[in-house]
Amino acid sequence: MATATFQIWRGTRESGEFKDYTTPISDGMVVLDAVHQIQAEQANDLAVRWNCKAGKCGSCSAEINGMPKLMCMTRLNQIPLDKPVRIEPMKTFPLIRDLVTDVSWNFEVKKTIRKFKPRKPDAPDGSWRMSQADVDRPQEFRKCIECFLCQDVCHVLRDHHMHGEFIGPRFMIYTAQLEMNPIDADDRLPDLRKSQGIGLCNITKCCTKVCPESIHITDNGIIPLKERVVDRFFDPLGRLFRKFGG
């Protein structure tokens, strides 16, 4: 039977190293299968997060040969197996153990974003009317499975560690879906500009490239938000129009 070797990061915040594991491989296997096989047969205590094994829960994020990916959606026939496959935890978040990182920062950030606030219902039964065309865009953003791979790859967080000033691409599109929800009545532009640091994004599009849900994070989310912020705060003519146009 064919085998492949996986170089997996083992260790904690304090210390660790890559360890080699060789394991049999078969048709259609994904990286997570290999990790599970190694866990069951060679390293019972190998720490890894997963839930759905179908790209739906966003638990199994890791860096595979340096590329941020979902382990459950990365098939072995898409990566070269003639040399060891390197699997390591996401680098932008503090390590807990092995492949598991502490992503709690993301959950804290979400709490700071103003929540959905609907306008009054359109019908007496408490429901609203919206056309499909008007919800297509926010629905695209709501496909997000919170894998945080985009956060992992964004240089503002990864290299510059500006976790305090910038909410990251995941929460840019989270805000975008709220702002673009046709029945939402709140305003998040002042926060975006100030505490959430939308100006720090310089549209490198690395986030879009890694998104397993193929969400157009930058083109459809961040750029339109930037435009709204610019219109509101930096465009004196527009401001004048708004003032007199009501």
Partner 1 sequence: MAEYQQFDYDVLVIGAGGAGLRAAIEASSAGVKVGLICKSLLGKAHTVMAEGGMAAAMGNVDDRDNWRVHFADTMRGGQYLNNPRMAELHAKQAPARVHELEAWGAIFDRTKDGKILQRNFGGHAYPRLAHTGDRTGLEMIRTLQDHGIHLGIDVHMEHTILDLLTDAGRVTGAFGYDRERGRFKLFTAKAVVLGTGGIGRVFKITSNSWEYTGDGQSLAYRAGAALMDMEFVQFHPTGMVWPPSVRGILVTEGVRGEGGVLRNSEGKRFMFDDIPANYKSQTADTPEEGWRYVIGDKSARRPPELLTRDHVARCIVREVREGRGSPHGGVFLDIAWIKEKIPNSAEHIKRKLPSMYHQFKQLADVDITQTAMEIGPTMHYVMGGVRVNGDTQMSDVPGLFAAGECAAGLHGANRLGGNSLSDLLVFGKLAGEHAAKFAKESRAAVVNPDQVDRIARQALEPFNHTGGVPPYEVQHKLQEMMQNLVGIVRREEEMRRAIEELAEMKKLAANVSVTGNREYNPGWHTALDLRNLLTVSEALARSAVERKESRGAHFRDDYPTKDPEAAKFNQVIRRAQDGSMQLTREPLPPMTDEMKQIIEEMK
Interacting residue ranges for ligand FES, rule: CB under 6 A:
50-53, 55-60, 70, 72
Q: Which stretch binds ligand SF4 (CB under 6 A): 15-23, 142-150, 183-191, 238-246?
A: 142-150
Residue 240 vs residues 233, 234, 244: alpha-carbon distances, Å: 11, 11, 6
Q: Which stretch binds partner 1 (CB under 8 A): 57-65, 80-88, 154-162, 225-233?
A: 57-65
- For 54, counting Cβ atoms within 10 Å of its Cβ (0-12 exposed, 13-18 middle, 19+ buried), the class is exposed
Distance in Å, CB of 160 to ligand FES, minimum: 28
DSSP string computed for 17-65? EEEEEEEE--TT-BHHHHHHHHHHHT-TT-----S-SSSSS---EEEET
Q: Where are the alpha helices (DSSP H) in the chain?
A: 31-41, 104-111, 132-142, 149-153, 155-158, 168-180, 189-193, 206-210, 223-233, 236-245
Question: Is residue 206 within the footprint of ligand SF4 (CB under 6 A)?
Answer: yes
**For residues 28 and 65, is the Cβ–Cβ distance under 8 A?**
no
| Smaller CB separation from ligand FES, 54 or 237 | 54
Residue in 46, 64, 76, 145 binding ligand SF4, rule: CB under 6 A: 145
Q: How many residues make contact with partner 1 (CB under 8 A)?
A: 61
At a CB cut-off of 8 Å and minimum separation 6, what does 108 contact?
none
Question: Is residue 156 within the footprint of ligand SF4 (CB under 6 A)?
Answer: yes
Question: Is residue 149 within the footprint of partner 1 (CB under 8 A)?
Answer: no
Residue 30 site contact among partner 1, ligand FES, ligand SF4, none (CB < 5 to 8 Å, cut-off depends on kind): partner 1
Question: Is residue 203 within the footprint of ligand SF4 (CB under 6 A)?
Answer: yes
The residues pairing with 62 across neighbouring beta strands, listed in sequence order, are: 69
Q: Which residues bind partner 1 (CB under 8 A)?
A: 12, 26-30, 33, 39-41, 44-59, 73, 75, 96-98, 100, 102-104, 107, 110-111, 115-116, 118, 121, 125-132, 135, 138-139, 142-143, 145-146, 177-178, 181, 184
